[in-house]
Amino acid sequence: MDNEDPLRKFKERFHIPEVNGQPAIYFCGNSLGLQPKTAAAFLESEMRSWAEKGVEGHFMGENPWLYARKRSKPLLAGLLGAKELETVAMNSLSTNLHLLLVSFYQPKGKKTKILTEPGAFPSDRYILESQSRFHGLQPKDTIIQVQPRKGEHILRTEDVLRSLRLHADELALVMMSGVQYYTGQWFDMRAITEAAAEKGIPVGFDLAHAIGNVPLQLHDWGVDFATWCSYKYLNSGPGNISGIFVHERHAHRSDLPRFAGWWGHNEETRFLMDKDFEAMPGADGWLLSNDHVLGLAVHQASLEIFEEAGLENLRKKSELLTGYLEFLIRKISGDGGILEIITPSLPKERGCQISLLIHKGGKAVFDALYRQGIIGDWRNPNVIRLAPVPLYNSFTDIYKFAGILEISLREFV
């Protein structure tokens, strides 16, 4: 499979971390993606502009800082299935989610509730709860978490849709992950968006685990807004810049409440410094500050690799890699007595992550895997998350991993 893999060369474009002096098998791209070897040169180029031109770097050189964010727009739009107008890189994920909720979560009268998934990432829960309090409401009265059925780990789309329709009169917002960080479930974003649209309820997605992982069609699906981070599958470096998507139908809405800043103001008159706020059309209208040039440089290095590899090709390989990993784990673990795979089995319901729920001794297994050069990710109380990333993981990585897992399970479980 590696010999026939058209993307195999991309592994060489990344710095692979070492464990005990040997290159690791890195299955942690869902937490922090690896560093592209080109990233340092992209960063260095902006450092040089700064050194050589000082403030003039805003206007001079190949990539004047005044327009820095524009370079990433077509590449982000491609990953999102969006128009350039609909997306912009800015801030960090949690900040952006708050800014977007200021605009799209407007509880009124009976319609105050938010439909969401259970066990969402803590930041997302804190954000929804604090937004609810910000409007003088109690989170326990406003947040509805659709639960999986008894004995199941993943949510059934039909249950999400039923709950959405049941509560439609009280819902002010539907807010979900695209791909759930813990189970790895890729929700049926299209079905959820269409059901919400039918009832006139805005829909937002947190794409932290979806962007660069699964193909998205945010524009065509009609999603209202989305945000993500760039340091997971997008390989743009720890804490680096996030981005937002706002559907074209909101591009010229001056009626939406928003927390405004000078960079979201009409570019033509921004530097007159005396005008009343007039939002840029599209996602740019949510910008607050001038561009994070150093972060954008590293982001750009990574986005160009995605452009070259092609998301469709990556997805094809991703389905094969993840399927192979699942196949070997099932073969090793037998009937489910030792561990359970809590990630959906159907490719259309997952990205490139497999989450293992180990019934006992999970942490010892995880530590043993690390000692033998496998970098995965441990989540309390008992889940190991593994993400074979098509840009820099191979079929051989998975084969080697399976051998090590088999021995570790025998030793510690």
Ligand X SMILES: *Cc1c(COP(=O)(O)O)cnc(C)c1O
Q: Which stretches of the chain bind ligand X, using CB under 6 A?
A: 92-94, 121, 123-124, 177, 181, 206, 208-209, 229
How far CA 344 is from CA of 101, 184, 286, 340, in Å, comes to 30, 8, 35, 11
Count other Cβ atoms within 10 Å, centred on residue 324.
16
Quick one: 86 or 206, whose CB is closer to ligand X? 206
Quick one: 10 or 228, whose CB is closer to ligand X? 228
Query: Is residue 381 reached through a cis peptide bond, with omega within 30 degrees of 0 on the bond before it?
Result: yes
Least distance between ligand X and beta carbon 306 (Å): 19
Least distance between ligand X and beta carbon 208 (Å): 3
177 and 208 in contact (C-beta within 8 Å)?
yes
Task: Note the Cα 275 to chain centre separation in Å.
Answer: 36
Instruction: Give the Cα separation of 83 and 76 in Å (integer).
Output: 9
Least distance between ligand X and beta carbon 22 (Å): 28
Q: Residues 6 or more apart from 351 whose CB is under 8 A from it?
A: 179, 184, 186, 209, 210, 213, 214, 318, 322
**Residue list, annotated binding site for pyridoxal 5'-phosphate:** 93-94, 121-124, 206, 209, 231, 262, 290
Least distance between ligand X and beta carbon 157 (Å): 19
Quick one: 45 or 94, whose CB is closer to ligand X? 94
Quick one: 154 or 365, whose CB is closer to ligand X? 154
The secondary structure element, H or E, covering residue 143 is: strand 143-145
Quick one: 124 or 397, whose CB is closer to ligand X? 124
Least distance between ligand X and beta carbon 283 (Å): 18
Least distance between ligand X and beta carbon 231 (Å): 7
For residue 310 the two structure tokens come to: 């092609």
Beta-bridge partner residues of 14: 36
Question: Which DSSP category does 149 fall into?
Answer: P
> 374-375 and 25-26: which strand pairing?
parallel
For residue 33 the two structure tokens come to: 């993606």
87 and 243 in contact (C-beta within 8 Å)?
yes
Least distance between ligand X and beta carbon 276 (Å): 31
**Residue list, annotated binding site:** 93-94, 121-124, 206, 209, 231, 262, 290
Phi, psi (deg, nearest 5) at residue 41: -70, -40
What SS3 state is found at 19?
strand
Quick one: 209 or 265, whose CB is closer to ligand X? 209
Instruction: Give the Cα separation of 362 and 389 in Å (integer).
Output: 23
Quick one: 98 or 400, whose CB is closer to ligand X? 98
146 and 115 in contact (C-beta within 8 Å)?
yes
